[in-house]
């Protein structure tokens, strides 16, 4: 696995990371701690050195990650996040400096570590000036409790405000073949400021794997049940894009998921996607995406398909969409 650098302060990570959210949050029943730990360790054994969790994913998620990486803690980068009231994404934002400090201490305990390698603000808090947020993290960095500062789903103005106080190593936001909004303003801003980009949901919350169609039923507590883009009619309409990706994948002797990840890696050298999974074989498939080389003709073919096939359905319900891009 090759490595990439996020930001200008030497945060080197594997070209593909591992998004740990789905191990216990958002996509149906949680994995057992034993199974989750085994999967994280398998990822490390196959070259992954970048693991992503958050307070909002529940205490279990951070505990899983901390226990899993303990044997090789100094060889990996662990990212976690603050920013929701009482750690509950349903309650709205809370990035008051005192709350940031509290979350850092709690995350350090759950992760069983002496430092957080990358500490993200999970969503921009409109009630707390970005200078105060960045200043609080800057103090944690000075204290040795945090190494690098990140933002998630932040807009260009917030990125600039934060970066002026404390250099931002990475922005984590959704970006994939079926959500390309960051290309308009975010990617140029990141390039200008020297900030890395960590796309979450790089496989379109599973849809770009080709294993989901309009007949697929999700678990009752699966987040996708409330996502307009995953309504049955939207999935049926969006199948055309997945079919085209499948044809490109077949020609490259790859899978649709591998093409989706290879496409992201081909966009910029400072992009590090963090696909998640609960299955060992899917983990290995995803990591194989880092070895797929897309030439100019391949990228042109994908661009033509994206221009020709519109994606149907909003990526978030309105209330959640309002939190992004601030």
Note the pLDDT of residue 205: 87
Return the structure tokens found at 223.
């987040």
Note the pLDDT of residue 283: 97
Note the pLDDT of residue 153: 96
The answer to whether residue 176 sits within a structural domain is yes
CA distances to 166, 173, 314, 319 from 89, in Å:
25, 16, 19, 12
The answer to whether residue 326 sits within a structural domain is no
The predicted-structure confidence for 189-198, as pLDDT tens digits, reads as follows 999 999 999 9
Count structural domains, the chain: 1
What's the CATH number where 24 sits?
3.20.20.100
Note the pLDDT of residue 290: 97
Average pLDDT over residues 276-298: 96
Note the pLDDT of residue 274: 98
Q: Is the pLDDT of residue 321 over 80?
A: no
Return the structure tokens found at 134.
């960045």
Q: In whole numbers, what is the pLDDT of the chain averaged over residues? A: 94
Note the pLDDT of residue 142: 98
- Asked about 281 being catalytic, the answer comes back as no
Q: Is the pLDDT of residue 304 over 80?
A: yes
The answer to whether residue 264 sits within a structural domain is yes
In 3-state terms, what secondary structure has residue 185?
coil
255 lies in which domain range?
3-321
Site of tokens 């529940």: 58
The answer to whether residue 123 sits within a structural domain is yes
Note the pLDDT of residue 130: 98
The predicted-structure confidence for 96-137, as pLDDT tens digits, reads as follows 999 999 999 999 999 999 999 999 999 999 999 999 999 999
Measured distance CA(214)–CA(152) in Å, rounded: 30
* SS3 readout for 254-317: CCHHHHHHHHHHHHCCCECCCCCCCCHHHHHHHHHHHHCCCCHHHHHHHHHHHHHCCCCCCCCC
The predicted-structure confidence for 206-224, as pLDDT tens digits, reads as follows 889 888 888 888 888 787 8
The answer to whether residue 250 sits within a structural domain is yes
Q: Is the pLDDT of residue 316 over 90?
A: no
Torsion angle of alpha carbons 214, 228, 276, 39, nearest 10°? Answer: -60
Furthest C-alpha separation in the chain = 54
The answer to whether residue 188 sits within a structural domain is yes
The answer to whether residue 266 sits within a structural domain is yes
What pLDDT band is residue 252 in, cutting at 50, 70 and 90? very high
Of the residues 57, 120, 175, 281, only one is catalytic, namely 57
- Percent of the chain exceeding pLDDT 70 equals 100
Q: Is the pLDDT of residue 28 over 80?
A: no
What region does 115 belong to: left with phi over 0, alpha with psi -120 to 50, or beta? beta
The answer to whether residue 271 sits within a structural domain is yes
């Amino acid at each position: 696995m090759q490595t990439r650098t996020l930001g200008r302060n030497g945060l080197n990570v594997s070209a593909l990371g591992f998004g740990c959210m789905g191990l216990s949050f958002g996509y149906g029943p949680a994995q057992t701690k034993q199974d989750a730990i085994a999967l994280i360790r398998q990822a490390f054994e196959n070259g992954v050195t970048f693991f992503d969790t958050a307070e909002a994913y529940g205490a279990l998620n951070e505990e899983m990650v901390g226990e899993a990486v303990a044997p090789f803690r100094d060889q990996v980068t662990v990212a976690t996040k603050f920013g929701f009231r009482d750690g509950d994404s349903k309650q709205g934002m809370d990035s008051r400096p005192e709350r940031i400090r509290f979350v850092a201490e709690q995350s350090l305990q759950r992760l069983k570590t002496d430092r957080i390698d990358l500490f993200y603000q999970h969503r921009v808090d409109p009630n707390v000036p970005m200078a105060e947020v960045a200043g609080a993290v800057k103090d944690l960095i000075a204290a040795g409790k945090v190494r690098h500062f990140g933002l998630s789903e932040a807009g260009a103005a917030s990125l600039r405000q934060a970066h002026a106080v404390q250099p931002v190593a990475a922005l984590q936001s959704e970006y994939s073949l079926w959500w390309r909004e960051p290309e308009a303003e975010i990617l140029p801003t990141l390039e200008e400021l020297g900030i890395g980009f960590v796309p979450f949901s790089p496989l379109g919350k599973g849809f770009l794997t080709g294993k989901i169609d309009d007949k697929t039923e999700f678990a009752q507590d699966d987040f996708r049940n409330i996502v307009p883009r995953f309504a049955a009619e939207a999935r049926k309409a969006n199948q055309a894009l997945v079919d085209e990706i499948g044809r490109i994948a077949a020609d490259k002797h790859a899978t649709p998921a591998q093409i989706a990840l290879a496409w992201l890696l081909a966009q910029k050298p400072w992009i590090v996607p963090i696909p998640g999974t609960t299955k060992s074989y899917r983990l290995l498939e995803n990591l194989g995406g880092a070895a797929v080389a897309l030439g100019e003709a391949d990228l042109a073919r994908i661009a033509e398909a994206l221009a020709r096939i519109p994606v149907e359905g909003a990526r978030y319900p309105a209330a959640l969409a309002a939190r992004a891009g601030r």
